[in-house]
Amino acid sequence: MSLKCALPFAAAVMLTACGGQSIEENIDLTPPATRAFLDHSDDLDRVNAIPNSAFSAVAMGTATFEGTTAMVFVTGAGTRTLVGDADISADFDRQIVSGRLHSFAGLESGVDYNGSFSLSNGEIGGTRPNTFSADFGGSLTGGGVNQIVANGSIDGVFKGTPVRGLTATGQTDFVNFNGSGVVGATAVSIVAE
């Protein structure tokens, strides 16, 4: 056996011998943005399965929720899906919601986006005591090239009694992608606990 063939074989044997697992079982080859999107989808399914909060459960106090967000932009250059973090604060006494959507990465490109979208005009109990709504706006820059400026609104519901999470969906009112308007729908999804 030549040295050229023996080295890869020896490396594979050594890696397989460590715990008896193959390389595929030890290393997740999923790109980080794809993993974040899959985690967001799993979290959304899990939290959506929790019953909506009872009306009486959202009466007093404050709560902070951390989770993820996904935004889908349909541009002239194709669909751009961004996944990021969501930090949401609820003040049930004053009936307001605030927060920030940040630390985005592009699902298709894997490019990190700097910047954030801030939640404003957040209101708890607009349609029912366990619901909320808010506006969002801000800008992101990815890879030093792609710039997204957007604003819109979300509607959500608190989950669990006592409250232990939330989900929200929404859309943009305005999006500018690299200086031109976005064509088609732009969707927003948030899940946090």
Q: How far apart are CA 68 and CA 55, in angstroms?
A: 25
- pLDDT at residue 53 in the model: 86
Answer yes or no: are the C-beta atoms of 68 and 96 closer than 8 Å.
no
Residues contacting residue 105 through CB under 8 Å, at least 6 positions apart: 32, 33, 36, 82, 83, 84, 111, 112, 113
Pairing of strands 186-192, 180-181: unpaired
Whether residue 173 is predicted with pLDDT greater than 90 in this model: the reply is no
pLDDT of residue 107: 85
Torsions phi, psi for 24 (to 5 deg): -60, -30
Per residue in 26-57, pLDDT (tens digit) is: 566 778 888 888 888 888 899 989 999 887 76
Is CATH 3.40.50.720 the classification given to domain 32-192?
no
Of the pLDDT bands very low, low, confident and very high (cuts 50, 70, 90), residue 16 is very low
User: pTM of this prediction?
Assistant: 0.81
The secondary structure of residue 95, as a DSSP letter, is T
Three-state SS string across 36-84, please?
A: HHHHHHHHHHHHHCCCECCHHHHCCCEEEEEEEEEEEEEECCEEEEEEE
Note the pLDDT tens digit of each residue in 112-148: 999 999 999 999 997 888 999 999 999 999 888 788 8
Q: Which of the pair, 183 or 128, is modelled with greater confidence?
A: 128
